[in-house]
Amino acid sequence: MNRLTVMVHDAWDRIPLPFNGDQQLAEVKRQALDAARVTSPDAEYVIKFRGAALPDESLTVHDAAIPEGASLIVLRRRRRPVA
Query: Tens digit of pLDDT for each residue in 13-66?
Result: 899 999 999 999 999 999 999 999 999 999 999 999 999 999 999 999 999 999
- Domain ranges (residues) in the chain: 3-76
| pTM of the entire predicted model | 0.89
**Percentages of the chain per state (helix, strand, coil), in multiples of 5:** 15, 35, 50
Looking at CATH, the fold of the domain delimited by 3-76 is given as Ubiquitin-like (UB roll) (3.10.20)
**Number of neighbouring beta carbons within 10 Å of residue 54:** 19
